[in-house]
Amino acid sequence: MPHPLLSAALATSALLLTGCVALTDKPEPPAPLTPADFHVRMDALEDALSARCDDQSRLGNEISSVTSRQDALIGDVREVGSLLRGMNSRLDNIAVDKPEPVVVRRECAADELGLANKTVLGSSEWIGLPDVGTYLKARIDSGANTSSLSAREITRFERDGENWVRFKLGLTDDDVVVDAVRDEWIEAPIERRVRIIQATGEESRPVVTLMMTLGTIREPVEFTLSDRTHLDYPALLGRRFLLDIAVVDVAERYLHERPEYPGGQPASEAGRDQDDADLDNEER
């Protein structure tokens, strides 16, 4: 019986020899194509390409068919639209006897129009300036935003760190006022300034607040100071004054009594002073 070490050595040698033989083995190359096999494969490729071309051709035909149907539908829609327009035109030309509309008139209560608590003013009114001590003619103009007072010799100055203005009433000999105030200086703080753009240029005018009376109305009113001696009225009342307290009846004038002041004429004699100039010449 061989020695155990000799048996192990023989086994190891056998394994090494087997591994060398396995490493030296190479896979066999594929067999070359025969002419018959080559033609078979080429025929299969041609058939596949031909099938794809047929599919693309069928898809193109289907797209062309859809496009043709779409064009036909568009043509039909246009034709229907033309027919509808023609029908509308013919309908418009058909004379239809219509009954005369019935107009229902009813008187609106003053409170329905929001006028119950408002004072009705004419297009011209007498106003009073208690702080100045005179009455003046005023035009009521809803087309103007702010009220205006005729002033001259307008001078700005400071008082206690605030901007004030000193001025005299801008009056003509025909203006009806208390004569004692014609050349009196009036002083008031400047509330703000407004920019006026005219054809002759741009200017800034001061705005002051003066207490004013008109009939039963007694309100502080903002007046823009400017020279109105070329106009028919030394005062103008605009929308800011009218808002929420008065409405204008343009067919009337001097609906309210002229206020009375020391040195002035009594209210009973106001009628002779109420001959207005041509209103069409009044500038707003």
Cα–Cα distance for residue pair 126/129, rounded to 1 Å: 10
Q: Which residue in 194, 153, 188, 189 sits closest to 171, CA to CA? A: 153
Q: What is the chain's percent helix, strand, coil content, to nearest 5?
A: 35, 30, 35
Domain spans, the chain: 119-278
User: Residue 185 is inside which H or E element, if any?
Assistant: none
Task: Please name the fold of domain 119-278.
Answer: Cathepsin D, subunit A; domain 1 (2.40.70)
Matching residue, tokens 């219509």: 98
Q: Is the pLDDT higher at 172 or at 31?
A: 172
Cα–Cα distance for residue pair 168/178, rounded to 1 Å: 13
Q: Give the per-residue pLDDT at 196.
A: 81
Q: Give the per-residue pLDDT at 10.
A: 55
Phi (first) and psi of residue 82, to 5 degrees = -65, -40
Q: Give the per-residue pLDDT at 20.
A: 46
Residues 6+ away with beta carbon under 8 Å from 259: 126, 127, 128, 135, 213, 267
Cα–Cα distance for residue pair 149/188, rounded to 1 Å: 13
Residue 131 confidence class, pLDDT cut points 50, 70, 90:
very high
Lowest-pLDDT choice from 67-76, 122-131, 153-162, 191-200: 67-76
Residue 23 confidence class, pLDDT cut points 50, 70, 90:
very low
Residue 9 has pLDDT above 60, yes or no: no
Residue 198 confidence class, pLDDT cut points 50, 70, 90:
confident
Residue 243 has pLDDT above 60, yes or no: yes
Q: Give the per-residue pLDDT at 62.
A: 77
Matching residue, tokens 């004429």: 265
Residue 221 confidence class, pLDDT cut points 50, 70, 90:
very high
